Structure 1
Amino acid sequence: MHFYQLLFKINLGSFPNSRRKIEPEIMRRLMFDNQISNIINSGVESKGLDLISNKPSVGSLSEADQFSADEIKQFWLTSRNIHESTTTEKEAFPGEMLRPVFNDIVMSSDMLDLIVEYYMASYEMMEFRKPFGEGAEDSIIVQVKMNQFGRCRIGSEIFSSLISSRHVKSSFILAKFMTESGDIDCYPGQVQYFFTHAVNLSDELSEHNLAFIHWYKPAESSNIRYHFRVRDDEICNVEL
């Protein structure tokens, strides 16, 4: 019981729960994620994520069951092996946006520029521009409004952002990017907010689930060292 209570104190209160049997509910979610990770990292070809969901959950535990095993597996594979990721243009989003929510936010001119740049990179065969902006006459004009969200959930894992002040500690991320040479670089950043934005693609309004992130800049020198004192008799070194 003391172990469960300790886990709860380490910021696990954001997990959905019935507020009646929170300890076993949280432990089940952790075990579920661990099962998925073990199957994917085993290197064995398996149909087996379906085995995890052979018994339907009830009550608050059923919230994670709306995401299929295939969707959760694809999410894990994308995060584990970016070289084999098949993410292009618009992919199905195996999750949902969570409160706090702010609807119909008008984007700034700078944000519209970023949105246009994103769509141009994602849909290489199409042209986009912001309202009254420069571009070809047949360019797709992006909408100026978006809906902001403080958190999002994929499976049983919840990601937070800066605008969700109660959960800001879980807004920091480490993202992988593949360079043109095939190398993998990791970049730390902080999610400012999640948002949905719709754009008209081939006469059909298509909604995208996105995140606005501030990235940390690299240190000017890779050999910078700092030290600080934790206790009177202990000094720790930090290298950037």
Structure 2
Amino acid sequence: MDEFKVPSDLGRIPGKIHCGEGFSNFTADQWRNFFLIYATVALWNHLPGKDRKILTYFVRVCMILVRRIVEINDMKEAHELLIKIIKLIEECYGEEKITPNLHLSLHLCKCSYDYGPLYSFWCFSFERMNGLLGSLPNSHRQIESELMRRLMTEAQINDIINSSSSEVIGLELLDKRPSVSFLSEFLTDEMYRFLMNSRNISESPITGCEEFPGKFLAPQSKDIHLEEQIYDLLIEYYEDTYVDSIFRKLFTENLPNSTIIINRANRYGRCQICAETFGFAAATRHIKSSFVLAKFINRDGNSVDIYLGQIQFFFEHSVHLSSRNLTHKLAYIKWYKLANLTSRFHFSIDDDVKTCNVKLWEDSFYPSSRDNIIPIHNILGWFILVKYKKSDRSNAREYLAVIPINRKFHLR
């Protein structure tokens, strides 16, 4: 379990997991992390074929249902998979294993149609509130009444703060508590535009100068020179992005109607997009949040594929184009190599690649190219990686098992 490189804000599960009663203290949040992150890789070689199917279908269902934004077609897929899971359990383990909870799971999608995604009414928030209540000081005697008095007092204070009365003496001493949610800092329509831009890169190509719900974070270096190789790649990026324009370096041949690309940029180590902070490879503290998935338009111009890589740094670069100054928000990313098809879909069921929740990739990067520079809008989210061998042989080839993580608001 320790080999999984999990970003710190995704939570943790106990370091030692024992069978049976050892799982009884798992919270709902820990169960979610166990199945979405650890279960497929950790259990695959220990399960027979039917149990692999059950696990794969269940992980896919969890991946769909715990999103903050869920599409109707995905809900239908989740419901169909739940039916398959229950039929497989009945076939393998008998009718007595079909518990009331399994029956109730068939109503999850109907509940979501009525109340929205499960995220809006599941029990994680109650667990978190129970933890907060348990951490409050008390006399260990009349805990319930003490907590209720405290909650009522704080509610009255909030009412005073929110009132516009100027007659309350000392009101300036009471200030509203800042929200702990990063999502509250951004307007809904701003996040929606970012969501649509990220999803439809083939229909509305992104240049990098579009607005995004977030900001760059330290460490930062202002007005620096990019390495010559990266400078060349940046010019290639602009040539691919603005196909009707001509770009060149300073002090090179003055082509007609050409635009000079100045080798000056602001470099950053981290980028906050809504509630998530993406790190970079050079910082040990942030390296686990530097592994990202991103979208690419294929060479045919018609299809879009997802690739995975590691962020080296973020940067802002400005170029004067069409009588205005355009500031582009970009990321420099090294991309992992694809494994062959047989290895890549090792965790699939019945050779159906669509059932593959975890894919294998090569543990090496592609050579540097223009594709190393992308707009931050093309970043889909994090992935978690762990080294994996398909067999127990000492000379077995080592791959990277890649587990994609749902975003705080979901992109596809």
TM-score range, shorter chain: 0.5 to 0.7
Kindly tell me: are residues 114 and 134 of structure 1, through their superposed partners in 2, closer, same or farther at Cα, counting changes over 3 Å? Answer: farther
Judge conservation of contact 2:272–2:278 (CA < 8 Å) in 1. Answer: yes
Matches within 5 A, 1:55-74: 59-61=178-180, 63-74=182-193
Matches within 5 A, 1:70-219: 70-80=189-199, 82-84=201-203, 86-89=204-207, 90-134=209-253, 136-179=255-298, 180=300, 182-219=302-339
Report what 2:49 is aligned to: none
Distance 1:62 1:203 in 2: 39
Kindly tell me: are residues 128 and 167 of structure 1, through their superposed partners in 2, closer, same or farther at Cα, counting changes over 3 Å? Answer: same
Distance 2:289 2:253 in 1: 39
Deviations 1:48-104 (A, max 9, x none): xxxx9xxxx9514375434221221233334455555x2344422332101111112
For residue 116 of structure 1, report the CA deviation from its aligned partner.
Answer: 0.9
Q: Which has the higher helix share?
A: 2
Deviations 1:166-186 (A, max 9, x none): 111110112222322623322
Deviations 1:141-161 (A, max 9, x none): 111111111111111121111
Distance 1:238 1:163 in 2: 22
Kindly tell me: are residues 137 and 199 of structure 1, through their superposed partners in 2, closer, same or farther at Cα, counting changes over 3 Å? Answer: same
Q: Percent of pairs identical after alignment?
A: 36
2:69 to 37, 41, 46: 37
Judge conservation of contact 1:162–1:190 (CA < 8 Å) in 2. Answer: yes
TM (norm. structure 2) is 0.41
Whichever residue aligns with residue 308 of structure 2, its letter is: P
For residue 112 of structure 1, report the CA deviation from its aligned partner.
Answer: 1.5
Kindly tell me: are residues 88 and 176 of structure 1, through their superposed partners in 2, closer, same or farther at Cα, counting changes over 3 Å? Answer: closer
Judge conservation of contact 2:278–2:290 (CA < 8 Å) in 1. Answer: yes
Kindly tell me: are residues 63 and 72 of structure 1, through their superposed partners in 2, closer, same or farther at Cα, counting changes over 3 Å? Answer: same
Give the match's secondary structure for 1:101. Answer: strand
Q: How many residues are treated as equivalent by the alignment?
A: 194
Kindly tell me: are residues 131 and 204 of structure 1, through their superposed partners in 2, closer, same or farther at Cα, counting changes over 3 Å? Answer: same
Deviations 1:202-233 (A, max 9, x none): 333221110001111233x444584355xxxx
Report what 2:132 is aligned to: none
* Higher gyration radius (CA): 2
Distance 1:42 1:76 in 2: 17
TM (norm. structure 1) is 0.66
Q: Structure 2 unaligned runs (5+)?
A: 1-5, 12-65, 74-119, 121-175, 347-388, 393-397, 402-412
Kindly tell me: are residues 218 and 150 of structure 1, through their superposed partners in 2, closer, same or farther at Cα, counting changes over 3 Å? Answer: same
Give the match's secondary structure for 1:166. Answer: helix
Relative CO higher for 1 or 2, CA cutoff 8 Å, sep ≥ 6? 2
Distance 1:152 1:227 in 2: 35
Judge conservation of contact 2:197–2:206 (CA < 8 Å) in 1. Answer: no
Q: Structure 1 unaligned runs (5+)?
A: 1-8, 15-33, 44-51, 230-236
For residue 115 of structure 1, report the CA deviation from its aligned partner.
Answer: 1.1
